[in-house]
Each structure stands twice: as structure tokens, then as C-alpha cells.
Amino acid sequence: MNVRTTRAALVAATAVALSAALVAPAVAAPSGTGHAATRAAAEAVVEAGVPGVTVTARDGRGTWSATAGVGRNGTGQPRSADDRYRVGSITKTFVATVVLQLEAEGRLSLDDTVEKWLPGLVRGHGHDGRRITLRQLLNHTSGVSDYTTDPGFVRDHFAKDGFFEHRYDTRRPRDLVAVAMRHEPEFAPGARWSYSNTNYVLAGLVIEKVTGHPYGTEVERRVIRPLRLTATSVPGTRVTMPRPGSRAYGKLADTATGPTYDVTELNPSIAYAAGEMISDSKDLDRFYTALLRGRLLPREQLNEMTTTVPAVENVRYGLGLMRVELSCGVTVWGHGGGIHGSVSDVAVTRDGRHALALNLNGDWAGGTEAVVEAEFCGKDAGTTAAERVHPSRPGLR
């Protein structure tokens, strides 16, 4: 999810297999080979106005990382390949993985209605949880209104005055759903596709109802610890960022000009299971690779996750996972996301042999799409279909 709606928040996924090699020290690709276009694309993002970029790729030659720009404005402090950052809607893939694990254990069905697990919660202005399935939450075909587009929510959390007044406030997930219920559904359940952060707030609440534990506890127990994702966490209401890390910057306005603000510290409960998590590029590569190689889900559930519906041109959406066809014909899987001052993407080939994860510590300029295109296609193809899914604006994506 991103604090700017969802621009390139869903570009794709790459990852690294879960094996002994994943916990071994990174092996750099030979200098001058393989990633020159990726480095150039990252530098171009900085030239476009983003303070800094950190990117890590893994392929048959090993693990390669590069940075460009700065981690803290006014100091010249560079970004680090080990930076922790807020990953926004990349959280959704972790949440969908847990839901599918629960299905594999027979504890729920994707055909269950939201009403079965959260009775009475999805009601109002035409919403009806009795007609919406868990599958429709995970693939964004529920039609449920997106709470992050509510004008009052935008004013209080994404605009300058509201952000500085409310940045440390705690928002309960049921309150986020209530914001969405003030509006009519986008469409009847199953009629089409539309990205809604409310879907994953509901999915997180379903996990809690089924297991008796907060969704973050289940993510940590089922994914973070088994994969040894040491830089990955579910912060809950913690407002500070772990180290190492860079500062995050935003305009807090629907513009790429004007003052820049340090927005690093905030209470991520405004995102909850739709986008609150923290990670780094190496962990994200590892997670998506392990996922696509079947290390986290049985074959049946992985097939369900990778069964997609049309989103926009060249982009299809599965269950917390996007399938994107790049300009050169290469298909990558994954997700992207953003939250105040942080825009991230992960892209992975379906066999998990080639993975890329990156982060920008500014949310108003540049974009991740060109870096993904450079890594997998060796060129900058400009704005991608994934960018058109989530046009840039202040919000969660």
C-alpha cells in the first residue's frame, strides 16, 4: 500500500530460493557485467528528483546490490543495500500467503463469505459481506470501497496539516473498515477488478478470527521466522524505524513541487494488513523466490495464488500477487507498494531464478518501473501498465 494511492505499487515480483545459499554472504556479480542498465536506471530516478534508491538483484551469477543518491537530505549520507524500509502493499503478499496456508490446513475456504468470519462488519451503503468471498478480497474483485480514498481520511493522513496532526495516532482496523462503509461499493462482488486496501484490512481481521492471533503474529510464525527474514517485521503501532535505514521524504501534497518533508516516523496502523510491514531488499528477494518455488504453499494453493484476473493492460492480479508482462515480453511476478516517503517494488521470474527488489526514499518523482525494465529487459521502457494501475497521488498503495 502506499501513501500515495498505488502508482507502480504493483510492478511484479522476483525472489530468491530458500536454501543454504540464501543465508550465505552475498556474492557480487562480476563488475561491469549484467546490471549496468539497472544501475543507470536507478541513477536516472535520482536525477528525476528522488533523494535515493537502493536495489538488490539475484540471478545465476549471485547477488548484486547498488545504491544511488542519499539516505538523508543535506548530509551526503548514501543509501545502503541493507536499508530497512516501509514496504507498503508488498504486505499484501505476506497476508495472502497466510490465508492460503490456513486454507491448506482446512481452517477456512476461499469460498467462505466475509460474513462467516466477520459477521455484520461489511454492511452499509450497499455493502454486504454475505455476498463477498475471501477469494474476492484477495484478488480485489469484491467491489468494497477503498478507505484510503475517503476525502476525510486523505485530509487527516496524507495532506500536510493532517499528517503532522495525526502522524502518531493509532487507527483500529475495524475503524478503517467503517470509513469504507460510508461509501457505496465500486461494483457488485465479482463484477470486475478494482484495487482496494480495505480488502486486505478485512483479510487481516479474518486471519485474527480464524487463528485467535493478530495477523502479524501469524506472518512472523509462518513466514518471517521459517525463512529467516531478519530485516522483516510487522511494526503494529511502532512509529520509529529499525536500523540501518534512511530517512523517508514526501511532499504531503498532490504535487511534485513545493517543500519536502521528513515523514519517516508515523504510526503504520493506518495501513494495518494492507501495507504496514518493514523489510529490506534481500529479504524481499528471498521471500518471493521461496513463495514462487513452492516453499511456503502446497501446489494447490500456489496454483490458486497465481490464478489471475485482468487488471489493466499487460497486468493481471492473482491472490496478493501480480503478473506483469514487461515491454520485452518477459513476465514477472510480485507486488509493489508505498507508504509516506517510501516506494518499493519486487519482481521475480516464475521459476525464481531472477529476482529484483528496490526502494525509493521519496514518493513524488521518478518511479520503480524503469529499474525493473532495465533489469529484466536491459532498457528503460518508461511508464508501464503497472504504473497506470496506481497513478501517483498522496495515499496508501
Strand, helix or coil at 91? helix
Crossing angle for the helix pair 36-47 and 369-377, to the nearest 10 degrees: 170
61: DSSP letter: T
368: DSSP letter: S
Instruction: Tally Cβ neighbours within 10 Å of residue 65.
Output: 20
Measuring CA to CA, how many Å separate 233 from each of 15, 185, 222? 18, 32, 13
Dmax of the chain from CA atoms? 59
Residues 346 and 334: their CA atoms lie apart, in Å, by 6
Q: Which amino acid is at 392?
A: S
Residues 334 and 350: their CA atoms lie apart, in Å, by 9
DSSP 280-297: -HHHHHHHHHHHHTTSSS
List of residues 6+ apart from 70 with CB closer than 8 A = 51, 52, 76, 77, 78, 79, 246
Instruction: Select from 375, 393, 362 the least CA-distant residue to 12.
Output: 375
Instruction: Select from 390, 349, 345 the least CA-distant residue to 368.
Output: 345
The full 3-state SS of 99-137, as one line of letters, equals HHHHHHCCCCCCCCEHHHHCCCCCEECCEEHHHCEHHHH
Catalytic residue among 89, 196, 233, 246: 89
**Cβ pair 308, 323 in contact under 8 A:** yes
List of residues 6+ apart from 93 with CB closer than 8 A = 13, 287, 288, 291, 320, 321, 334, 335
Q: Is 89 a catalytic residue?
A: yes
Known catalytic residues? 89
